[in-house]
Amino acid sequence: MTTYATKPMSIAELLTIPATEHDLKWIKDSLQSAIALELSTLPPYLCGMWSIRSAGTDAEAVIKSVVHDEMFHMGMVCNMLSAIGGTPHVLAAAPTYPGKLPGNVRPTVDVYLQGLTQAYVREVFMEIEMPENPLAPLHEEWVTIGKFYDALRDAFDNVRPPVGEGHQMEAQIGRNRLEKFDSVDGITQAIEVIKEQGEGTSHLPDDPTAGGRLAHYYAFGEIWKGHRLVPTPGGPTPYDWVGDPVPFPETFPMGRLTAERWPDPTEQVRTLLTAFNDQYTEMLDHLETAWRDGDKSALNQSIGAMFGLGPAAQDLMAVPLPDDPAHVYGPEFLLRPDHLKHG
């Protein structure tokens, strides 16, 4: 049985510390919290993607690209922490659902697991990726992920910690190339990439790293609204989802998981749930090993394991819920009992 670090500090707590006290320890604590934050986005997005029945839909392409981006973001944050002498603790960062975003970011947002619906896209996907100043309707006053990354970038600029080799990883993750950091400037530029891939620039809904492709928030909005995002000169906002139709895909109707575990599963379902959770634990264990030991093969195994989870999830989605046969089971994303976190 492996012993893990305590859970990451609350991001809300980290942001109450005056900027003048954002020292090297604060940066390391914040990066560990950022690992938890990036990891927490993957299960809801994956449940939505796996619930799509047919490959090749617009919605599947959007969600898959975002999943790749979030894996890339998590990898960059792990490299940042390794580069300044820290050790990423991935298993300690594993979230449970339903719940809040790690670190009490956006505390009114409830993150749960369910199959893809327009309401799920709006209530979970878009709330996670919400910019500080949306360029399309739905502006609300929130403390966003972007604000947290701004504080982290500023701390790197002010502290200028030594950047070493550490146990950094390199890999191709979708369209993104994970590379090692050798300077503070490289790290602060990467933090801007994380922000802009999720929420766009301050004046465009585009992800500037992708040749005009929409940032996550606006791309998810096309699935929610069922229309392309287009400029609206003279309108109340610069952009709106009123362009060409975006068909909503046919899905497996995974029900909403309202507790950490599905209640009273049959032996068949329990076996499927255990198989999924074991593979999920193995994936995170490989990630932990990769950055702890500098093991590139473990990183490759973790990436392969994540995409191997899809068939295990869809096996669950073939089984109707006993008290709601219009909906089906889905993954729980729970760690295997012998890998539970300590502290």
Which pLDDT score, from 0 to 100, does residue 202 have? Answer: 57
Q: What percent of the chain has pLDDT over 90?
A: 68
pLDDT level of residue 342 (50, 70, 90 thresholds): very low
pLDDT 10s digits, 259-312: 999 999 999 999 999 999 999 999 999 999 999 999 999 988 887 787 789 999
Say if residue 151's pLDDT is above 80: yes
Q: Compute CA distances 198 → 49, 66, 92, 181, 191, whole Å.
A: 18, 8, 24, 21, 11
Which pLDDT score, from 0 to 100, does residue 133 have? Answer: 63
* Owner of token pair 């002498």: 85
Which pLDDT score, from 0 to 100, does residue 123 have? Answer: 93
Average pLDDT across the chain, whole number: 88
pLDDT 10s digits, 228-272: 999 888 888 888 999 999 999 999 999 999 999 999 999 999 999
Task: Please give the residue that has the higher pLDDT: either 130 or 332.
Answer: 332
pLDDT 10s digits, 90-138: 999 999 999 988 766 777 788 999 999 999 999 999 988 887 666 555 5
Which pLDDT score, from 0 to 100, does residue 41 have? Answer: 92
Exposure letters 18-49 (e unless 16+ CB within 10 A, then b): eeeebeeebbbbbbbbbbbbbbbbbbbbbbbb
End-to-end CA distance of the chain: 14
Q: Which domains does the chain have, with CATH numbers?
A: 11-251 (1.20.1260.10)
Helix axes 184-199, 145-159, angle to 10 degrees: 170
Reported pTM: 0.91
**Sign of the alpha-carbon dihedral angle for 174, 72, 102, 95:** positive
Q: SS3 of 267, please?
A: helix
Say if residue 314's pLDDT is above 50: yes
